[in-house]
Amino acid sequence: MTTYIVRRLLWVIVLLFLVSAITFVIFFALPSADPAQLRAGRQPNPQLVEAIRHKLGLDKSLPVQYYRYMKGLVLHFDFGYSYQNNISVKQQIFDRLPATASLAVGAAVVWLVIGISVGTISAIKRRSLFDRVAMGGALVGISAPVYWLGLLSLYLFANDIGKIKIFPGSGSYVPLSEDPTKWFTSLILPWFVLAASFAAFYARLLRGNLIEVMSEDYIRTARAKGLRERRVVLRHGIRSAITPIVTAAGLDIGILLGGAILTESVFNIPGIGRLAYDSIQQSDLPMIQGTVLLGAFFIVMMNLVVDVAYAFIDPRVRYS
């Protein structure tokens, strides 16, 4: 197992190199704004643009620029400085990471709890009223655009613009270290909004899996042993049905850690998603690189985590 993990970690590094190179190529190959141009202002003096270009290192050839970037990254863990406002990319990213992490992890907890419980009950009481309502609701949850759901939740429940004033409104996020209570209450609506489509998907997924699993032979054996039905469902049924859920959850969390742009936008949570979007709009290459690498890192690492977790869940899986 250790050799497996080490091997995978080496691949992670290779992949991140690849990702950074491809990002570089994409940035320069596809039409995007000229960063020196943008920085120079509205009516720039051509020499000013050149001076800025030189300052940002954009007058060097692509391979040289890439080399310099990677050198800074590998040797000093330096992600460079934003073309926009010259702030350290590393600082901006790590500054905003807790917000995104709070959002992603919290939403994951919500969707797993809801998805698994609803999926289980639906599977057990198949075709009952609960099942039909739940699965219908799930379809809505999956189809509803996150942005619209966000707006709807604010218009209903935000304590500034909502009909029923319960939860803090958009823009009220504070870091956990600053005020734990406010941090928590300001994230409740975003968690549920972000979790909605996932919960729906996971409920359907678990329901399907559980129905399949419950027709397996070992379930019949469990019942034949005289176990209580609750134990059969939970210890035998869900134990098996949960494995695809674990994989999916790991990957989804990995992706969300790279930023949930729409949710962050509508609730004004200063996370990585917004940062990534803005940096693309402004052709801020160092920031784009930073956010892309971070996103890639999380996805790849969660992949690894999920694969390793699999070995613990299913004893038949063995890595060499």
Partner 1 sequence: MQKLRRLMPLAAVAVLALVAAGCGSGGGGSTGGGAGTQSTSGKTGGTVTLLDAAGSVDSLDPGYWYYQTDYEELGQTTQRWLYSWKPKDNVPTPDIAQGPPQISNGGKTLTIKIKSGIKYSPPLQNQTVKAADIKYAMERCFAAPVGNGYAFSYYSGIQGAPSAPTSKVKDISGIQAPDDNTLVLQLKQPVGILANANALGLPCTIPVPKNYAAKFDNKSQSTYGQHQVFTGPYMIEGAGSGTVSKAGYQPAKLISLVRNPSWDKSTDFKPAYFDKIIIKNGSDVTVASRQILSGTSMMSGDYAVPPPAVLKEGLTTKKDQFQISPSGGNRYFSLNTTVKPFDNLNVRRAVAAATNRNALRQTRGGPAVGTVATHFIPPLIPGFDQAGGNAGPGYDFYKNPNGDLKLAASYLKKAGYPSGKYTGPPILAVADNTPPAKQTAEALQQQLKAIGMKLNLREVPHATMYSKFCEVPKANVALCPNLGWGKDFFDAQSMIDPIFNGKNIVPSGNVNTAEANDPKFNSRISAAASITDANKRAETYGQLDKDLTGQVYYVTWLWDNEVNFTSKNVKGVQSAFNGNAWDLTFSSLK
Partner 2 sequence: MSPLLEVDDLRVHFETEDGLVKAVDGVSFSVEKGKVLGIVGESGSGKSVSMLTVMGLSRSRNARISGAARFDGQDLIQASAEDLRDLRGNDVAMIFQDPLSSLHPFYKVGRQLVEAIQAHKYVNKSEAKERAIEFLGMVGIPDPRRRFDNYPHEFSGGMRQRAMIAMALVNEPRLLIADEPTTALDVTVQAQILDLIARLQTELEMAVILITHDLGVVAEVTDHIGVMYAGRIVEHADKRDIFRAPEHPYTWGLLQSIPRLDRPRDEPLVPIPGRPPSLITLPTGCNFHPRCPYVRPRHREVDPRLEPVPEDPAHRVACLLPSETRKRLWQELSAGKAPEEARAEIVEGGLA
Contacts with partner 2 by CB under 8 A lie at 216-218, 220-229, 236, 239-240, 313-316
Sole window of 37-45, 191-199, 216-224, 300-308 interacting with partner 1 (rule: CB under 8 A)? 37-45
Q: Which is nearer to partner 1, 34 or 307 (CB)?
A: 34
Residue 61 tokens, joined: 């050839």
Judged by DSSP in three states, 159 sits in coil
Among partner 1, partner 2, none, what does residue 236 contact (CB within 5–8 Å per kind)?
A: partner 2
Among partner 1, partner 2, none, what does residue 247 contact (CB within 5–8 Å per kind)?
A: none
What DSSP string describes 73-129? HHHH----B-TTT--BHHHHHHHHHHHHHHHHHHHHHHHHHHHHHHHHHHHHTTTSH
CB of 234 to partner 2, least distance (A): 13
| Cα–Cα distance for residue pair 89/275, rounded to 1 Å | 10
CB of 69 to partner 1, least distance (A): 17
CB 1 within 8 A of CB 51: no
Among partner 1, partner 2, none, what does residue 52 contact (CB within 5–8 Å per kind)?
A: partner 1
CB of 260 to partner 1, least distance (A): 14
Size of the site for partner 1 (CB under 8 A): 48
CB 9 within 8 A of CB 2: no
Residue 17, CA distances (Å) to 13, 63, 194 in order: 6, 14, 31
User: Which of 86, 113, 136, 314 touches partner 1 by CB under 8 A?
Assistant: 86
Cβ burial, residue 103 (10 Å; 0-12/13-18/19+): buried
CB of 238 to partner 2, least distance (A): 11
Q: Which is nearer to partner 1, 160 or 212 (CB)?
A: 160
Among partner 1, partner 2, none, what does residue 47 contact (CB within 5–8 Å per kind)?
A: partner 1
CB of 226 to partner 2, least distance (A): 3
CB of 198 to partner 1, least distance (A): 21
Q: Does residue number 170 form part of the binding site for partner 1 (CB under 8 A)? A: yes
Among partner 1, partner 2, none, what does residue 224 contact (CB within 5–8 Å per kind)?
A: partner 2
Q: Does residue number 52 form part of the binding site for partner 1 (CB under 8 A)? A: yes
Q: What residue has token string 């994951």?
A: 108
Instruction: Identify any residues that bridge with 88 across adjacent strands, giving them in sequence order.
Output: 81
Q: Does residue number 155 form part of the binding site for partner 1 (CB under 8 A)? A: yes
Judged by DSSP in three states, 167 sits in strand
Residue 168, CA distances (Å) to 61, 160, 181, 270 in order: 50, 7, 11, 16
CB of 34 to partner 1, least distance (A): 4
